[in-house]
Amino acid sequence: MPKEKILLAHGAHREGKRTDAVMEKWRGYGLGQFIHWGLYAIPGGEWNGKQYNGAAEWIRSWNGIPNATYDSLIYKFNPTAFDATAWAKSAKQMGARYVTFTTKHHDGFCMWPSKYSKYTVAASPYKKDIVKAVVDAYDKEGIDVILYFSVMDWSHPDWRYEIKTKEDSVAFERFKKFTRNQLIELLTNYPKAKGLWFDGTWDKSWVKQAAFADDLETEMRKLRPGLIIGSRFRADENGKRHFDSNGVLMGDYEQGWERKIPNKIEEVHGNDWDCVMTVPENQWGYNKAWNGHIKSANELLEMTAKCVSLGGNFVLNFGPQGDGAIRQEELNLATKIGDWMKLNQEAIYNCGYAGYEKQDWGYFTKKTGSDQVYMVVFNVPVSGALRLKMPAKTKISKAYMLADREEKILPEEINSNEYFLKLKKKDHQEPFVIVLETGKNA
């Protein structure tokens, strides 16, 4: 028996994927960049010689630091090495097709001169509008911009985690108005931005604002038709986040894939999604220490291919230093990823789920709207032959290396719809892509 649908006033307002051109473009990005930059980049995870064990951008919440002391970092914010054009050029070289930039993280510091707050770049020695610089520079490089915005604002006197008293309620009403004003301000000031990336929306106070958030979303979409908003913005009237009480995605894409990637297509329920990933384990803002496992370019490329093979985008985070420069290790990763992308991007851009069974050597991707299938290979067996199981009634008519189309690979049919692809070279140091041209068996 199908479950009866719950009537919702503030649930999802659409079932299934958006089909407009803006969202089609988003779907085809393949690779993106995330940037976490704010006051927290100045201490970089260290305070008075002590290392903070959490994520560097959370250091304000550390017991050892009085809030006012943290907030006074504003007087030290003067990033003389900040060069939005250099950032955008590096992102372009990496192959990123969109960037998500922190306009305001949980600490409440605004990277634009918001007229609704005193705690902004305008009051820092730097003074200039950083959001504008980022939007303009990335737009110039043809990289779409999404604005990250944390609803939770630790610096705001009216922010509450939970509404317990009449006073809380009055304060939070003011906070809601402030949030609405800042969002409308962002959309008005930066019309080139394609979407909003919400964060800090998990606390009880906000989760209970289903009607307000729903109205605000409608207002923002009206102001900026085509605006992209993920599933983190609002909850339904029963407090359900991401998916409403009927299990329908709320927003244009699923935003739950933070530092994790689905393993099977069933896990994404036919929705759009992207995965946001850190280079170390869990550091988004700049951390001097950068402890633990640091992902390599090949690991990150594997994640990119995996996401695309399951119909998602992969978004790699960068945490620029307090002076505005991007750390050398991140720049090196961007260069390596970009070098690989230059040869193989055809298998990443405008590609998605191929409908083929996952196999040990890597990931299948398929060009949207065509029959072109790619094998993105990460693991070559000692035999140097890749075993390849095709869907029923599908045969390979041609196989060749994407980076060198002259290098043809003769498929050996070993079973019906099953092949061995014998590689010319066994000792690949880098992942590579094989293009498959396919046809139907009688």
| Residue 408: its H or E element | none
The residue whose Cβ lies closest to ligand FHN is 284
Contact between 203 and ligand FHN per CB under 6 A = no
> What backbone phi and psi angles, to 5 degrees, belong to 33?
-125, 140
Contact between 347 and ligand FHN per CB under 6 A = no
Instruction: Mention every residue, 6+ apart, whose C-beta is less than 8 A from residue 329.
Output: 279, 290, 294
Site string for ligand FHN, 237-276 (x = CB under 6 A): ---------------------x-----------------x
Residue 363 CA to residue 367 CA, distance in Å, equals: 13
Residue 297 CA to residue 43 CA, distance in Å, equals: 27
**DSSP 8-state assignment for residue 205:** H
Contact between 55 and ligand FHN per CB under 6 A = yes
Q: Which is nearer to ligand FHN, 56 or 351 (CB)?
A: 56
Q: Which is nearer to ligand FHN, 150 or 438 (CB)?
A: 150
- Nearest distance, CB of residue 55 and ligand FHN, angstroms: 5
Terminal CA-to-CA distance of the chain, rounded, Å?
39
Query: Going by DSSP bridges, is the β-strand pair 373-377/432-440 parallel, antiparallel, or unpaired?
Result: antiparallel
Q: Which is nearer to ligand FHN, 279 or 436 (CB)?
A: 279
Contact between 39 and ligand FHN per CB under 6 A = no
Catalogue the long-range contacts made by 62-68 (C-beta closer than 8 Å, 24 or more residues apart). Answer: 67/154, 67/155
Q: Which stretch binds ligand FHN (CB under 6 A): 37-45, 55-63, 174-182, 352-360?
A: 55-63
Contact between 73 and ligand FHN per CB under 6 A = no
Q: Which is nearer to ligand FHN, 327 or 367 (CB)?
A: 327
- Nearest distance, CB of residue 36 and ligand FHN, angstroms: 6
| Residue 317: its H or E element | strand 313-318
Query: Going by DSSP bridges, is the β-strand pair 418-422/385-389 parallel, antiparallel, or unpaired?
Result: antiparallel
- Nearest distance, CB of residue 65 and ligand FHN, angstroms: 16
Q: Which is nearer to ligand FHN, 58 or 361 (CB)?
A: 58
Contact between 143 and ligand FHN per CB under 6 A = no
User: CB of 309 within 8 A of CB of 354?
Assistant: yes
Binding residues (CB under 6 A) for ligand FHN: these are 36, 55, 57-58, 199, 258, 276, 284
